[in-house]
Structure 1
């Protein structure tokens, strides 16, 4: 859906630029993830009239006594027939304060890889829990995966509060249990909200049915959660994606290096180093299609020009001379395996795609397989099957320019590709410390 219809002429969104919040939903089956997203779209008036009419028609045809807002995100026919979410459905909406991209991820265990895909770029994750069931295995699994993927903000939504008579006791019991579990994980920011996605309680506005709850509504929290400080503005990392040399008779000496700023702040005059060559230079200008900039920061896409003619090509990285990533061919990483046909095995040969650099790699060692439900390390495992997570050591044919994933999600993350089929078979997170 285009967000253009959400910002009419003269609206506050034209007066000032808005930041973007990417968030994912997670939880067990039938916890109401798709219904919650449908409610957010409905309450923020982010639906076209024909979209709502189509959902109402399908709901009536199915015999539902209410408009099933979950149908707005369960777009695949198989999903509608089974009443479950399979694919990662992306939806877009905006309020006067912020733009949003939602990834509605599946709740079934066999679709863990889809959940990892949706949460890997998220600033925040909504973990839904059915108030009648409390925490279940999938709730803990998804909380752990969010911690592993370094999602900076977690929101536990205790859904279906209407089915437990909006009980404060039930809510607090679930909140206390989840908070105790989250204390074992790396979850820096946790918020707990009691909601009813079906009826809209505490979604866009505070609910009169839960006067004992003194916190903000879910939408208010999403609009105001502070994400600017989540970006790494210290370590300058600029993976070069493309070398720009205009084929023009009027422009003969232009050489620019295009890419997306992964972290840090770049300014004209800054001394920089190019890896893996190690040559240093200074930034003469930072260009965009709209003209030069005084500074560039993540996730801006820009073209950097250097004072010296250095041999720079795709896959190289621009950084600070005294603050460089690790240059290594031996990579320690946590990997989520996504291939249902062949498991990851020691000796397996793959292609690793890291930022703008690709390298062939071999799995040298599988240290352990991690049970995400108990956090137990199985050091006797010899392979990783579909949706399993483990720690491995890779040896690459060319050096990769990596940071610890905990410090930089962009330069610390990579994907594993089967060189025979060209399919993505795994997602990895670099570990440089225990």
Structure 2
């Protein structure tokens, strides 16, 4: 089997980012390998290498999980540790997959992989049913505002394709998801190892009337997930050409976080509060009439306003909070030092940088039981809690539930320059 280069016509196609989650040995890596294999997204040498490793390990079949378990330690232990990103395309849509670890100690890796996902695949073993990890991953996807969830009941071949077992697991998960903010849930019975209900409907599940997994991934509607109401354009770079022939050009480059920008629109620049109108919107391919997420564009205004990196362009009547006091849920990612009240960190929020001090820890959240421990005094590796912090400069922020881009930030240890936490803003102001 030989994979061809991604055709030119896919460049303008819709892109779906999805993350996989599930307990250990539920078959996440096998499922990703199956998708890559069945959509002919593998090169011959990749497949040969996987076959060779499978034989060396004594596997009776070609272990497709090895396609994503790229680290040597992962292959030797048979587990997923790192977040493995893979790309494939079908005639209908392009895909980026984040294969995230199932172990509790790799919560931070899952948060990283799911933070930008449009959809999450949660796998459960049909023999085991829902386990603590299943609920935990569903909660994390809800916390990260992943708009679409797909529960894949895997290894159905090992329970004789039992409709009763499938429906029991589906009902139990649906009841749990109702407690979370999971707007769209689909349940599919599959066998990742055999390929049942992955690309096409399986004859082994005549009682299942839904689509195959790939069909659902190709057709799930994600355009409406983007916030097209609140205009948010964080300025990443100010363009001032050094050419003698162009003396009055001033453009503001960045990626549209939300909303729709159009030439002629009245806009406001924060934090200054000055207003102007959009003179033109330009891309690498030339001028456009409008820009929407996630387009990267250069915006020119009719007035000369002092704008720099970290400022934000929005509507005068629809602005984010300009706040230094922030309430946020933080997932702590540092294995050496815990988050403590009074500690100081650097904050990276959209294109704006600031320093912050932790003013308080309201509670630590047990992601398995959803219990709030209000007596907690610190957050250790992979723990999640609600904190109060104050920044040195105002953040131009929305609630994370409304806007994942302007509502999210990362926490950086200034002494090591390492990312030590990921934050989701609950309240600003």
TM-score, normalization: structure 1? 0.97
Secondary structure of the structure 2 residue equivalent to 1:36: helix
Q: Deviations over 1:99-130 (max 9, x none)?
A: 00000000010001000000000000000000
Question: Is the contact between residue 363 and residue 395 of structure 1 (CA under 8 Å) also seen in structure 2?
Answer: yes
| Cα distance in 2 for residues equivalent to 1:157 and 1:77 | 27
1:377 counterpart = 2:372: yes
Mapping for residues 311-390 of structure 1, pairs under 5 Å: 311-390=306-385
What secondary structure does 2:117 align onto? coil
Q: Deviations over 1:39-67 (max 9, x none)?
A: 00000000011111111111111111100
Which position in structure 2 is the counterpart of 1:67? 62
How far the C-alpha of 1:251 sits from its partner, in A, is 1.1
1:123 is matched with which residue: 86, 100, 118?
118
CA–CA distance in structure 2, aligned partners of residues 32 and 175 of structure 1: 18
Kept in 2, the 8 Å contact 1:6–1:46? The answer is no
1:254 aligns with 2:274: no
CA distance in 2, matches of 1:315, 1:371: 35
Contact 2:4-2:41 within 8 A present in 1 as well:
no
Q: TM-score, normalised on structure 2? A: 0.98
Partner residue in 1 for 2:37: 42
Partner of 1:407: 402
Pairwise mapping of residues 140-289 of structure 1 onto structure 2 (< 5 A)?
140-289=135-284
Retained in 2: the 8 A contact 1:330–1:395? Answer: yes
Cα deviation 1:59-115 (Å, max 9, x = unaligned): 111111100000000000000000000000000000000000000000010001000
Q: Which residues of structure 2 form unaligned runs of 5+?
A: none
Deviation digits for residues 306-338 of structure 1 (CA, Å, limit 9, x no counterpart) = 011000000000000000000000001000001
Shift of 1:4: 7.2
Aligned residues: 426
Cα drift, residue 6 of structure 1: 3.1
Take 1:289 and 1:146, find their aligned partners in 2: how far apart are those partners? Answer: 34
Q: What are the ranges of 5 or more consecutive residues in structure 1 without an aligned counterpart?
A: none
Q: Deviations over 1:209-259 (max 9, x none)?
A: 111100000000000000000000000000000000011111111000000
User: d(CA) in 2 for partners of 1:203 and 1:214?
Assistant: 14
CA RMSD of aligned residues (A): 1.1
Runs of 4+ off more than 2 Å: none
